[in-house]
Structure 1
Amino acid sequence: MPILGLDPSLYPRHPPHFDIEQVIRPNILALHPYRCARDDYSSGILLDANENALGHSISPEGNGNATTAEIDSTLALDLHRYPSPTHDDIKSRIALLRGLPGANHVFLGVGSDEVIDLLMRVCARPGQDKILTTPPTYGMYGVCAQVNDVGVVEVDLELSGEKGEGGEEGRFSVRVDEVKKAVAADPSIKLIFLCSPGNPTGTLLSLASIRAILADPAFKGIVVVDEAYIDFAPEGSSAAQLVTEFANLCVVQTLSKSFGLAAIRLGIALAHPALIQILMNTKAPYNISSPTAHLASLALAPASLRSMRAKVDTLVSSRQTLLSALHSPALKTLGLGEVIGGNDANFVVVRVLGTDGQPDNERAKRVYKALAEEAGVVVRYRGSEKGCQGCLRITVGTEEENDVLLKRLEETLARI
């Protein structure tokens, strides 16, 4: 069954074992997407969508904190009109940023979570199909699977060994052979989710490992590489460079982390045009709001990209300073253990030890609570994740925030 809206010349041809029509649910392939007049005409006297012709009702009166400039900028967004269904200008900027041929390789979602959920909905039949995850990993994969009544097969990352920087060896690297065994044994697995750099591990997965899974003829589904933190990793690390080679790859990114735009909720899928077209056919008609699109467009301008990269450089430098401080003799004496993971994101993961010198979940929980409730510093307890016993995840803050964290962490460890 042809993919509606896709130029037949763009049908996937590599890798040869991948047939997208065998991966996508038949009802999705047969879906005729919601269309409106705005898909064809976006200017003139617009009387097609039953919008409020008198405009929005936001008034400066009673909005004491809103300035005239803020009200004027809001008016300029035409909030009484539905937003663009496609936002091709934003997609083109993202394609250029990530080295892809054009906007037809880019999908926009309401945060990465919408992209993840939509991939499950188009590929996995409820009650029949499964996804594969590699714990410890991002919790929303499992949540979305449960919501969609999709099974989960788990193949743990490498949980032993020395702290690695990704690749085929080292702690928190992907066990490629075990992933291959799992998909060969279970043809109902339609999606493999790889988080790189990992959350909560901070470890970058090697492109060689990702390529090996993509090229595995036993797996007929789609490999999803979640790169929320990729801009904090070394340049050239992104799997986006493999998108034009492998039609069975979907790279998920976001403006929440390196761009500092968590509040606008803009997620990104980078993939072959065939998969992008299917996602476009399935999504809600106006999923990206005009305010979100406006802010995203500003963030992708050349000057803003330079600002983003400068801030990433600062955070990476601060990450190294924080790592060094967490290894200080004073904190070690108080029972702070090793920093684990590859440290390729904007956070670090550190163990809290008990009196026996072993990772201690109960003490880590107490430290977490005391930091938040008594010291005014909120970190994340991650001890329940596989391979993360006794662990706290700490986001790299400003220089001042990091100094306060270290001081209060030392004080808290001294009494707990």
Structure 2
Amino acid sequence: MNASLPWYLVLFYGEPEQSLRMQVFDFLGSWLVSLDHPFIIVGDFNQVEFSSDKLSAKTGSIAGAMSFHNWRVEHELVDIPFKGPRFTWCNNRKGFRRVYERIDKAYGSKDWFSNFPNTGVKHFPIQISDHAPIELCFNLVKNSCKKPYEIESWNLHNEECTSPFRLVRKLAFIRNMLRKWSIDKRKSWSKEWDCFDERIVEAMDYTIISGNSDLAVQVNNEGRAGRNFILGIKDFAGNWTYDPICIGNLFYSHFYGIYNPISDDYVVALSTTPASSNTIIFPRLAEFDVLFQRLGALKSPGPDGYPALFFQKCWHFVKNDVISAVLNILNSGLVVTRCITNRMSRVMSYLVGEFQNAFVVGRHIGDNVILAHEAIQNINKHFLGIVGSLLLRPI
């Protein structure tokens, strides 16, 4: 501690009323500008800045947190680290209504740690009051913890490591923001469902009392659709067909082409396929556009939690980062499975038999299930007396 340097100690109490809180912060900020020496502010701010400083059963955004954070950044205030229990206030309620927050804290000027580097705040347990006592220390002994891995300088200068790292960090940031947005939306949707449930109960009561089920039918139609029917389908040329007979013929021709191959001679040596030596070269930039548009939009996401739909919708934003990361991995000797799959799809028709339905573009593993279901249903429908049908499965 530099004993010869003058400094200011500001004791502060935040406005309890949310609507007036920022007015008090703005007044404090205008007064801090006049201070010509390092200063530290200690007190009850009555405002949580980060979600990690609040523990409650409710989730979502914190009222006033963003405004307070912008005010603190604008005045270049530094959060003083603390030691001890994380939360300094409790509403002393029971069960799910109990809330913990860190609102008693200290902030220093931007030059505070240059003169008092070991400053810290010691938190004591919440015992008598709803607030925990805090102590300002100028030589605080930090909590011992496992030292994290330090990024060495060669990591930052090595281009092979930077592009995937940047992509992962950006995706992680977006995922956290989308999670917060989804939680907020889920709350509003749950309220709409609660209203719908109330209408269902009202319709049931009305039906029992009056004997008229019109209201119940109306609410039922609002909440769930009727049975699904195939009213139209696109043919192979992309034209819509609405005639039931034509729809049946399209289904028949589709499955007939799958299960009745033209030739049984489908095993072709790889050396006789028309694939050129270009199959092995690194992907061109235009190939990435085609590759990501062919991905299943709503298939199971990868370890990053993002379905392919995210990259397809936001491709013009994430394109450069994704391409840089993929090329970086390819150049380092690893394999990007989707690029390899895209290249192999050019020769798949020469390697896989026409009876194979799974893992081939244009064929679906569910076709077998649909065909078996329709065949059994057809047998059950036309069963009459002692005359029946038989399904044979070749081995």
Shorter-normalised TM range: under 0.3
What is the TM-score normalised by the length of structure 1?
A: 0.24
Larger radius of gyration: 2
Counting helix residues as a fraction of each chain, which structure ranks higher? 2
What is the TM-score normalised by the length of structure 2?
A: 0.25
